[in-house]
Amino acid sequence: MINLEERSQVAFGKPLAQIGDAQVCRLLQDLVREHCQTLPIMEGKRRLYYVSAEFLIGRLLINDLINLGLYDEVREQLAQAGHDLAAVDDQEVEPSLGNGGLGRLAACFMDSVATLGLPGDGVGLNYHYGLFHQRFVDNQQTALPDEWLGEQDCLEDEGKSFEVQFGDFSVVSHLYSIDVPGYHNGKRNRLRLFDLEGVDDSLVPDDSIDFDKTKVAKNLTLFLYPDDSDEDGRLLRVYQQYFMVSNAAQLIVSEAVERGSNLHDLPDYAVVQINDTHPTMIIPELIRILTQEHGIDFEEAVGIVRHMVAYTNHTILAEALEKWPLEYLAKVAPKIAKIIELLDQMQREEHDDPAVAIIKDGTVHMAHLAIHYGFSVNGVAALHTKILEETELHPFYELYPEKFSNKTNGITFRRWLMGCNPDLTSLVDKTIGTDWHRTADLTPLMAHVDDDEVLDGLVEAKGKAKARMREFLLTHQGVTVPEDAIIDVQVKRIHEYKRQQMLALYLIWKYLDIKNGNKPARPITVVFGGKAAPAYTIAQDIIHLILTLSSWIANDPDVAPYLQVIMIENYNVSAAERVIPAADISEQISLASKEASGTSNMKFMLNGAVTLCTLDGANVEIADLVGEDNIYTFGTSSREVERLYAEGAYDPQAYYHKPGIKLLVDFITNPAFMATGNEERLRRLHDDMAHKDWFMALLDLEEYIQVKERVYADYEDRGAWVRKALVNVAQAGTFSSDRTIAQYNEDIWHLVPQK
């Protein structure tokens, strides 16, 4: 069917064997584009619009080839011509349209929505420079613009534009889209990204992400999450949010009308899922359009919108629950501010409780707006939803118990197993057949947990994945990982609640232990990766500690042969696809109650890593599925953590002064160590840990050290370990995003699947 040889001749006048990886990449991208364009767009009277500030889609080539059913054929033809698909894939620029788990979730969801044949699109913004590109200079993070747009981006011009009216000026948008083919179902949806007509890339210097934040009419779609440490930055975020939702709302209304809606029946034509609070202003914006542009009266418009917007909560961290001064909204979008005031009044007439007010002291609580005027609120893991219902959103749960539900997150197995781990995929295929490609049911593997052939196959697949990771780390940043090393990984955004600092303290402990002559049975390689928000000082300090420790250990000949610390530069989806398949240990050590779900925990499990975790987020569900013999848990329970916060009862000094802990924390500020790093950063981090430790790393540290030692010791019982790894793969099916999306559809969206 496909003939890459011929395509190569036509495009480059050369045989396939003689063109370079970059040219092969171009050929395949063209092939994918042509195939996508032959697929009909999914139709349905009622459509989903999944509105999100982020879509961390990663590279598209391999995932698209898999979904289009071209993967095996392409791989074979390339192999015959001496090309390796993975090397070709490395030529693709990764779109940088997200930040972390929330954006990656949106991307997995788009894949699953298309695969289940549901008519629904993602709607977001086309950021020219993404979040930022992370580079390490002097063991510190620097942030550079991440320029991903260019010849090979896969944006199609939809030729649609809308006008967006701000307080004292208006702008025009332009709509692009990226095809999202379903897995083997011959149809597609789209990721639809609005750009700003007249956006000015020259506002961004080459070597920094600082730009003039006041030139709103020219900068709106330059960056995701522009620095909001000053008022210009915060205002810009509000401008961006309104730009996103105004475009989304206009798109939704115009398409519903095209499909025959008279707008009084709009909920029969569209359901809007808002991914966290960033798109909340779509509620007043839809009301504005219905009332002011279509003459529907206010109460009816509110009723219409109340039946079509659903909200996903992603966090209970107070600083992440968005609140905007009403005056910002009044400046950016005065009509929207007015409507929010009316909605607030209406709500107060119904419920006289300040705890659920939308506007408090001139501040708009976006989540409250979404809960009152949406029809659904969901958490993203069982524990998280329970905390929302019982604690964080309890007053709302009392008012609207029927709106609340749990939808435990998931990941697409097309990318996170079939695409990133071909050797494990073929082992699974050989062992249980290929039904799991559709059903994600891997439990038939449970019949093989004592099957030596399968266990040996798993060791072999892990070995090959480790070889690919070693190659990646060597070319990406010039580090050599020992062949027989245990690979122990914590990759995710850098945040105090995720507690990378606790793993760093463990590494200090291990360093000192090895110095004292206790040599591990084999080399240990600990891999970190993650970006920190540029304005988040302590997170920058944590990166600095990790990088300084990494050099310190590498330069100590007594310890370096046994312990290695690597921090991946510019951790992104492509890096995740190299590292996760190679991992033996998955570090999920957030302070219990703080990680809403986590999704890297699911990716690791699916790829045969054993989880070392607190009972937080979806770790709780992983632990239930695999059983206590196949996971390592530790740490203070979420209930106890909540009590400590509520009573202000945690005192870090009491832990800091334990001799075993003080030694580790003080290592950070010992003069010889500080001389190799940045004194200000290291001192600040030391003092923060000793005196504040808001996320209680010291509370769980001693137990963490004990459990880690047990994990490393258990790893040496190779037979038992590999069995654990296989149980983890076998039980991962629950975490397919196809399951998650089927639940969203069943309980919230009610879309009719296209056969």
Ligand X SMILES: *Cc1c(COP(=O)(O)O)cnc(C)c1O
328 with 235: CB under 8 angstroms? Answer: yes
**503 touching ligand X, by CB under 6 A:** no
**Among residues 223, 228, 409, which one has the least CA distance to residue 320?**
228
- Is 408 catalytic? The answer is no
Q: Which residue has the tokens 């945040």?
A: 495
495 lies in the binding site for ligand X (CB under 6 A): no
Start-to-end Cα distance in the chain: 24
User: Least CB distance from residue 576 to ligand X, whole Å?
Assistant: 4
Q: Please name which of 309, 307, 260 lies closest in space to residue 281, comparing C-alpha atoms.
A: 309
Burial of 361 (0-12, 13-18, 19+ CB in 10 A): exposed
Applying the rule CB under 6 A, the residues between 70 and 89 that interact with ligand X are none
Q: Which of 277, 593, 600, 745 binds ligand X (CB under 6 A)?
A: 600
Q: Are 641 and 591 in contact (CB under 8 A)?
A: yes
314 carries an active-site annotation: yes
What minimum distance in Å lies between the beta carbon of 144 and ligand X? 18
Between 280 and 570, CB nearer to ligand X? 570
The residue (of 190 and 594) whose beta carbon lies closer to ligand X is: 594
Min CB(378)–ligand X separation in Å: 17
Nearer to ligand X, 104 or 544 (CB): 104
462 catalytic residue (yes or no)? no
Catalytic one among 415, 462, 493, 723? 493
Catalytic residue among 192, 384, 492, 544: 492
Under rule CB under 6 A, residue 133 binds ligand X: no
CB of 125 to ligand X, least distance (A): 19
Q: How far is CA 92 from CA 3, 588, 683, in A?
A: 21, 30, 41
Q: How far is the CB of 102 from ligand X (least distance, A)?
A: 8
Report strand pairing: 486-491 vs 524-529: parallel
Report the 10 Å Cβ neighbour count for 544: 23
Q: Residues 42, 67, 100, 689: which binds ligand X (CB under 6 A)? A: 100
CA distance 447 to 459: 18
Binding span for ligand X by CB under 6 A among 87-95, 168-176, 209-217, 568-576: 568-576
**Secondary structure (H, E, C), 369-387:** HHHHHCCEEEECCHHHHHH
User: Smallest Cα–Cα separation from 597: which of 621, 626, 573?
Assistant: 621
Of 213, 603, 708, 724, the active-site residue reads: 603
Q: Which amino acid is present at 246?
A: S
Return the number of other C-beta atoms located less than 10 Å from residue 257's C-beta.
14
Query: Does 598 interact with ligand X (rule: CB under 6 A)?
Result: yes
* Cα–Cα distance for residue pair 561/564, rounded to 1 Å: 8
Query: Known catalytic residue: 614?
Result: no
175 φ, ψ to 5°?
A: -100, 125
CB of 594 vs ligand X, minimal distance in Å: 11
Strands 270-275 and 47-51, by their bridges, are parallel
Segment interacting with ligand X (CB under 6 A) among 3-11, 572-580, 644-652, 697-705: 572-580
Cβ closest to ligand X, residue 100 vs residue 374: 100
Q: Which whole-number Å values give the CA distances from 315 to 188, 237, 246, 642, in the listed order?
A: 31, 19, 25, 15
CB of 324 to ligand X, least distance (A): 25
424 is written with which tokens? 């494990």
Q: Does 101 bind ligand X (CB under 6 A)?
A: yes
Compare residues 578 and 686 and give the one whose CB is closer to ligand X.
578
Of residues 462-491, which lie at the interface with ligand X (CB under 6 A)? none
Site for ligand X contains 572 (CB under 6 A)? yes
> Residue 492 interacts with ligand X (CB under 6 A)?
yes
599 contributes a contact to ligand X by CB under 6 A = yes
**What's at 680, amino acid-wise?**
E
Could you tell me the smallest distance in angstroms from the CB atom of residue 317 to ligand X? 13
Q: How far is the CB of 493 from ligand X (least distance, A)?
A: 6
Q: Which of 149, 576, 711, 741 binds ligand X (CB under 6 A)?
A: 576
Q: Are residues 531 and 571 in contact, defined by beta-carbon separation less than 8 angstroms? A: yes
Query: Which H or E run contains 570?
Result: none
Query: Is the separation of the CB atoms in 244 and 51 below 8 Å?
Result: yes
Decide: is 579 part of the binding site for ligand X (CB under 6 A): no
Q: How far is CA 167 from the centre of its chain?
A: 33
- Assess whether 599 carries a catalytic annotation: yes
Contact 686, 666 (CB under 8 A): yes
Interface region with ligand X, contact rule CB under 6 A, candidates 12-20, 423-431, 593-601, 713-721: 593-601
Q: How far apart are CA 3 and CA 47, in angstroms?
A: 37
SS (HEC) of 86-147:
HHHHCCCCCCCCCCCHHHHHHHHHHHHHHHCCCCEEEEEECCCCCCCEEEEECCEEEEECCC
Least CB distance from residue 59 to ligand X, whole Å? 12
Q: Which is nearer to ligand X, 288 or 493 (CB)?
A: 493
Shortest reach from residue 572's CB to ligand X, in Å: 5
What's the token pair of residue 76?
């074979």
- Residues 234, 228: contact at Cβ < 8 Å? yes
**Catalytic residue among 7, 128, 314, 403, which?**
314
Closest to ligand X by CB, 39 or 606 = 606
Number of residues that bind ligand X (CB under 6 A): 12
| Selected range binding ligand X among 65-73, 182-190, 561-569, 570-578, rule: CB under 6 A | 570-578
Token pair listed for 607: 């790829």
Q: Phi and psi (nearest 5°) for 191?
A: -100, 120
CA neighbor of 256 nearest in space, from 2, 46, 112: 46
- Stretch of 125-133, 291-299, 475-483, 596-604 lying at the interface with ligand X (CB under 6 A): 596-604
Part in contact with ligand X (CB under 6 A); list of ranges 145-153, 541-549, 594-602, 649-657: 594-602
CA 482 to chain centroid, in Å, comes to: 30
Q: Which is nearer to ligand X, 238 or 504 (CB)?
A: 504
The residue from 59, 75, 104, 190 that contacts ligand X (CB under 6 A) is 104
Min. distance of Cβ 100 from ligand X in angstroms? 4
At 493 the three-state DSSP class reads coil
User: Given the complex with ligand X, which of 93 and 644 has the nearer CB atom?
Assistant: 93
Region near ligand X per CB under 6 A, out of 98-106, 363-371, 466-474, 694-702: 98-106
The site string for ligand X over 156-195 (x = CB under 6 A, - otherwise) reads ----------------------------------------
- Alpha-carbon span 580 to 578, nearest angstrom: 6
**581 binding ligand X? (CB under 6 A):** no
The least CB distance from residue 412 to ligand X, in Å, is 11
Q: Which span sits near ligand X by CB under 6 A: 239-247, 361-369, 571-579, 724-732?
A: 571-579
Q: Is the dihedral of CA 324, 146, 192, 494 positive or negative?
A: negative
Per rule CB under 6 A, is residue 95 in the interface with ligand X?
no
410 binds ligand X (CB under 6 A): no
Residue 573 makes contact with ligand X by CB under 6 A: yes
Helix (H, G, I), strand (E, B) or coil at 396: helix
Task: Let me know if 431 is a catalytic residue.
Answer: no
Burial class of residue 150 (count of CB atoms within 10 Å of its CB; 0-12, 13-18, 19+): exposed
Active-site annotation holder among 237, 407, 498, 681 = 498
Cα 18 to Cα 22, 81, 675, distances in angstroms: 12, 8, 52
Residues belonging to the active site: 314, 492-493, 498, 599, 603
Residues that bind ligand X (CB under 6 A): 100-101, 104, 492-493, 572-573, 576, 598-600, 603
